Amino acid sequence: MIIRSATRSALSGTVALATGLLVLLPAPSPAAAHTRTEPVPPAAGSSRTADRALLYEPGTQVRPASGAPSPPSEVSALSWLVADAVTGDVLAAHNAHRRLPPASTLKTLFAVTALPHLSEHARHTVTEDDLAGIGEGSSLVGVVPGLSYKVADLWRGVFLSSGNDAVRVLAAMNGGWDSTVTQMREKARMLGALDTHVVSPDGYDEPGQVSSAYDLAVFGRTGLASPEFVRYSSTAEAQFPGDKGTYGIQNTNRLLSGAGGVERYPGLIGVKNGYTSRAGNTLVAAARRGDQTLLVTVMNPQSGASQAVYEEARALLDWGFAAEGQVTPVGSLRPAPADPVVLPGRRAGKPVRDGARSGAAETDRILRKERKERSEGAESTERTEGTGRTEEAGAGGTVSGVVGEPMTGAVGGAHGPEVRSGAGASGPGGREGREAAAGSDGSGGFSYLMPMVVIGTAVLAALALFAFRAARRRPRRR
């Protein structure tokens, strides 16, 4: 009788203990429950609630509050977009996903693909083979076979002179032309830029080569997280090496240089312009005013004005700054979540990210690998050259400061860069990403420990019950 009572008491106590531990067990954080595609929720009021399908609708998409200014009516571009560069919120757009020839704005994708693989201190002696295949009528910076160039000089040739010859050499250093095409296509998919098809990394007109205002904005936003990208794209003037010394080159982005009678835009960070006979004029431009940084894309203005691409970009930037806080986002430059989004003309159940590499963890792994390769390359070069000096912009160049942790937001669904003045300012992405991995409630390790305690308690209870029953079966001595 005493033994049976003890058995019941032990069993009841064990059940009560397990129940109490289960009540105390914290609910698993989203990060612990499943892999996020957007690890950290964006700030309140951002495009987390935006209907991503809106950007696939034709025409102009904008959701202004009462009394907010309307987007400029004089913009004649076939496609354009205005976005917050930090959050990725799309403030307004016109035919955002219309596929059009991108011209040299495609060099933004080339840069975000190849920059992490090539140390800016490395040198390369150019061969005739490196320059083979340059398209007729291409813009050139003047790369000469047989001369040795620093990678940093070649990048200035790309960003300032839009030199297809410099692109050819950098692509050769990056594994070859065809390999670079493959890498760019993969990078576009990883970024969620699914309107883009790369045929020629320099943006030269080729059959089937297309992008969109949306995708080009994604590439520009990704580039703003890279100190090198910002430094090159914001440089107005520099010196380029030639066979008889150096000569001056000027940025072809007239909103930055002020050339051709175009007034410089205050706070312009740069990025990239382009032109071909098929694409017309194209431009990706970023500018900062106060605490806000905007990114605009303008593709193929139809007004016929000689500087239309710059003046329309100016009008869109002015509108974006004036409309701050007065519009509801109509989309996001961050990749879509894994859940399917039904778009006009597409079957339900097919994710927008069709064919894209998904998951913040995979993106972070790629970014860490790229940063490690870039760091190791720089250290190796510094040991070889005996200097740790970072290559600055050329004479007269401008060193801007939109620098942040690489955007797992533009690249994998989390954050945009923290935009600050002064090159070298670091963004918050790394710390927030680690917090997301640990669980948004800060209990990442605890939430995994508690189930083990509960399971262990249940096992001990089972053993105790077995021991009591075994004792009860033994014959008692009188």
**What angle, 0 to 180 degrees and rounded to 10, lies between the N-to-C axes of helices 2-24 and 444-473?**
170
Dihedral sign computed on CA atoms, order 324, 327, 333, 337: positive
Known active-site residue 244: no
**Please, is 408 exposed, middle or buried when counting C-beta atoms within 10 Å of its C-beta (0-12, 13-18, 19+)?**
buried
Q: Which of 162, 226, 233, 332 is catalytic?
A: 162
For 198-236, give the DSSP string.
Answer: -S-TT----TT-BB-HHHHHHHHHHHTT-HHHHHHHT--
Token pair in block for residue 431:
């710390």
Is residue 408 within a helix (H) or strand (E), and if so which, with residue range? helix 408-412
Type and span of the H or E element at 165:
helix 164-173
Helix (H, G, I), strand (E, B), or coil: what is residue 431? Answer: helix
Length in residues, the chain = 478
User: Tell me, what amino acid is at 424?
Assistant: G
- What sign does the dihedral 317-318-320-321 (CA atoms) show? positive
Structure tokens at 140: 């050139």
Crossing angle of helices 107-114 and 177-190, rounded to 10°: 90
According to DSSP, residue 197 is labeled B
Q: Is there a contact between 101 and 276 (Cβ–Cβ < 8 Å)? A: yes
Please say if 162 is a catalytic residue: yes
Q: Exactly one of 46, 79, 104, 139 is catalytic; name it.
A: 104
Active site residue 350: no
For residue 351, report the phi and psi dihedrals to the nearest 5 degrees.
Answer: -65, 150
C-alpha distances (whole Å) from 424 to each of 249, 260, 447 are 25, 32, 37
The long-range contacts involving 399-403, CB below 8 angstroms and separated by at least 24 positions, are: 399/231, 399/234, 399/235, 399/423, 400/230, 400/231, 400/233, 400/234, 400/269, 400/270, 401/230, 401/425, 402/85, 402/224, 402/230, 402/269, 402/286, 402/288, 402/293, 403/225, 403/226, 403/227, 403/230, 403/427
Distance, in Å, from the CA atom of 341 to the CA atom of 353, rounded to the nearest integer, reads 9
**What is 367-378 written as a DSSP string?**
HHHHHHHHHHHH
Distances (CA, A) of 272 to 257, 309, 379: 12, 12, 29
From the list 46, 47, 107, 139, the catalytic residue is 107
Mind telling me the catalytic residues? Answer: 104, 107, 162
